A = this chain, B = another copy of it.
Amino acid sequence: MPQPSSSAPRKALGRPPRISREEVIATARRIVDADGVDRLTMRRLAAEVGSTPMALYHHVRNKEELLVLLLDDYAARTLHRPEPPAEPRERVVVAAAAIHEALAGCPWIVEVLTADDLMSASALWFVEQIVDGLVACGLSPERAVHGYRAIWYYTAGEIVVRAAAARRRADADRPTYREQVFAGLDPDELPRLAEVADRWAPLTAEDTYRDGLRALVDGLLAAR
């Protein structure tokens, strides 16, 4: 892995690199933008930076890290800070919704989203907004952090689940699991589900992220 260019400006040791991490990421971004994340393979990436597959591994640890870096890059470019509302509760909602919107507009991250927190440097400001908003509403810093986590779980879950649903819809021919299950629904055993069975698909297709988010925030604040 490349040294952090330290204070000592000694001539670099070893064979001089022909490609850089930045170049790799930029090229990867081009590929993803042009042809989608599925087409991003280490071999093609290597070819397009004019190198060999294994050479990439000196600049990124593996493909997953590459994707995380791509997400970072994406976040840095598209996460725009909204004017924070005066009301702290609203600050929380707005910050979370901004993160959510950015992620939702970037369908390929799902494979990365399982990455722990969203700890991209450019996302930190939003995390700060959320934690600060919760504190301003009277939560202790500890509870505020837990609150942020809950919001993050909810947000990441929404993205992941929706993306999976979309993927499933893509290879659509065969009936979904869901349809099969709902078809054989016993109204005596499961009356509520039977009641909404035929409305399930459109209902779950609705975008209710913000409603749920508001409910969660309300609940977090009420528990104080």
* Residues of chain A having any CB pair with chain B under 8 Å: 61, 68, 110, 113-117, 119, 121, 124-125, 127-128, 131-132, 135, 141-142, 144-147, 149-150, 152-158, 160-161, 163-165, 168, 174, 176-178, 181, 185, 189-193, 195-196, 199-200, 203-204, 206, 208, 211-212, 214-220, 222-223
Q: Are A161 and B150 in contact (CB under 8 A)?
A: no
**Nearest CB on B from A10, distance (A):** 24
Q: Are A214 and B208 in contact (CB under 8 A)?
A: no
Q: Are A116 and B161 in contact (CB under 8 A)?
A: yes
Q: Residue among A68, A174, A208, A222 with the most chain B CB within 10 A?
A: A208
List B contacts of A158 (CB < 8 A).
153, 157
Q: Are B110 and A114 in contact (CB under 8 A)?
A: yes
Q: Quick one: closest B residue to A114, CB to CB?
A: B164
Q: Are A196 and B160 in contact (CB under 8 A)?
A: no
Q: Are B116 and A146 in contact (CB under 8 A)?
A: no
**Nearest CB on B from A207, distance (A):** 10
Interface pairs (8), CB distance under 8 Å: A116-B168, A117-B161, A141-B199, A142-B196, A145-B200, A150-B212, A153-B161, A218-B222
List B contacts of A115 (CB < 8 A).
164, 168, 177
**Nearest CB on B from A215, distance (A):** 3
What separation, in Å, do the CA atoms of A196 and B215 have in the docked complex? 25
List B contacts of A163 (CB < 8 A).
114
List B contacts of A218 (CB < 8 A).
218-219, 222-223
**Nearest CB on B from A140, distance (A):** 10
**Nearest CB on B from A2, distance (A):** 14
**Nearest CB on B from A133, distance (A):** 9
Q: Are A152 and B141 in contact (CB under 8 A)?
A: no
Q: Quick one: closest B residue to A113, CB to CB?
A: B160
Contacts A141-B196, A142-B203, A157-B153; A215 near B208 (Cβ below 8 A): no
Find A215's partner among B145, B165, B220 (CB 8 Å cutoff): B220
**Nearest CB on B from A107, distance (A):** 13
Q: Quick one: closest B residue to A181, CB to CB?
A: B119
What separation, in Å, do the CA atoms of A200 and B149 have in the docked complex? 11
